[in-house]
Amino acid sequence: MPALSERKIQIVKALVAAAPDKVVGGLQAALAEAQGDSALASVRRLVEAEAGERRLRNIILQPIAPMCVGDGRDPHSLVFPSFALGYLWKGLKALDPQGIKAASLALYDYRPGESSPAPFDALVKRAADAVRAGEPREFATVTMLCEQARPGGGAAFQLCLDLAPIVRRAAYRLPEWTAHFGDDTTAAARLVYRDACSVADDAGPTFFEMIAAQLPHPWMVLRIISAVMDKPSERYLRDSELGGFAERVMDDIDAALKSIQTLDVDGGEETARAAAKLVELVTLQVAEIEACIALEREHSWGHRLLKQKNALASVVEGRIREAEKYANLALPMQPARLRRIRRMIPRHTLPPDPRAVRRALTLFHFAREIRSSANYGGFASARSKMLEKVGDMLDHYVEETLDLIKTGDCENEPVAREHLAVVVEFSRLVRDEKAADLVRRRAAACRAEPPPMAAGA
């Protein structure tokens, strides 16, 4: 395949430049083996150049880059349009090409916390001054995009650029601050917060918005706020300018509870796993609030959080009960035909109900995935009892079905084996792969016993 013409290269270059970072990274990985002068090799070189430039951009603008997502209209957090970052970078390259070159050279051996970020901070300061002045025109476009996304967005973007050097200094220490808080780390966090507040009187909330954007989970910013404010009481935090951060987490918990309540039991494994992740998230967020804020159990946030914990336990226990119900529907039982046999035996007149099987499997996947959050969530006992009860039911079902097959009393052996296949799937989730394999092997080995030969035959 011949190399691309210059016109086509420019078209591809424009498309790659407009693509999100994840797409560019995926293209780079996909084209890694393209060699020579082929068209794909030309595209690979374009993608690699774009990926390299974005790495440089994201290092220089690290304090603000994670905040430039989507259309910048998120009502729950401070974000800016993704296009604003592109225009900011374009304007910065035109404004200070020598500074960009110096930053590129500094990037080769840059180690956060060890190397000086001066070349990067100098560029961010130039960008902040240019946005404030509105020249060149790319910086005026940045302000316009931010104002269109939210009222006061332009001023908020400027403040973020002013705070960028302070946030950069704090960012590399965030893993330490969030994992091992002590007197030293608490003092360091307070010093950084004090520096941020010296930039502007109202810089505190914006500083924590920027810190939240640097964390793997934005709600973890409560740990930093708690350290700076020395684990504040809920009344003190609620009345401060930082109270919105805790309320935002509780709003997220409410939204997650609604999603868990509306779990689609026909959705299968992926739907169950997504709901279980929400359960885990809620337990983590509840624990975070309890650890970071001195709550009043009977009032306001403390009361609201208690209701959320009870709601989570109630919803999850309801799903656990449904799992048992659908398992019984998928493996129906009936009274034995002989009066002297009082126990229930499997009914094999009809194939397994696919709807009941699908729903039971979805809920068993859900119960399996919530094991790590069951203790703190308050539903460990209900989960354990359900698994034990369903496990005993499966054992009884297998023994009775195999006995019916061996004695020739089975109403429909092919249907019985279909039910045993369902038991295998249930056993894998209720117990483990070993238990499922045992049922599978026993079913394969089971055969009807030949009738006894008549005397004298």
Burial of 230 (0-12, 13-18, 19+ CB in 10 A): exposed
Residue type, 193: Y
Inter-residue contact 147 to 158 (CB < 8 Å):
no
Tokens of 345: 């035996």
Instruction: Classify 300 in phi/psi space as left (phi over 0), alpha (psi -120 to 50) or beta.
Output: left
What pLDDT is recorded for position 428?
Answer: 94
What pLDDT is recorded for position 22?
Answer: 65
Inter-residue contact 323 to 366 (CB < 8 Å):
yes
Tokens of 374: 């069951």
What pLDDT is recorded for position 348?
Answer: 87
What pLDDT is recorded for position 330?
Answer: 93
What pLDDT is recorded for position 356?
Answer: 95
What pLDDT is recorded for position 66?
Answer: 93
Positions of the chain with pLDDT lower than 50, given as ranges: 1, 454-457
Q: Is the peptide bond before 136 cis (omega within 30 degrees of 0)?
A: yes
CA distances from 102 to 62, 65, 86, 116, 136 (A): 17, 20, 20, 13, 21
What pLDDT is recorded for position 457?
Answer: 45
Tokens of 427: 């056993």
Contacts of 319 (CB under 8 A, 6+ apart): 260, 263, 363, 366, 367
What pLDDT is recorded for position 286?
Answer: 94
Q: What Rg, from alpha-carbon coordinates, does the chain have?
A: 31
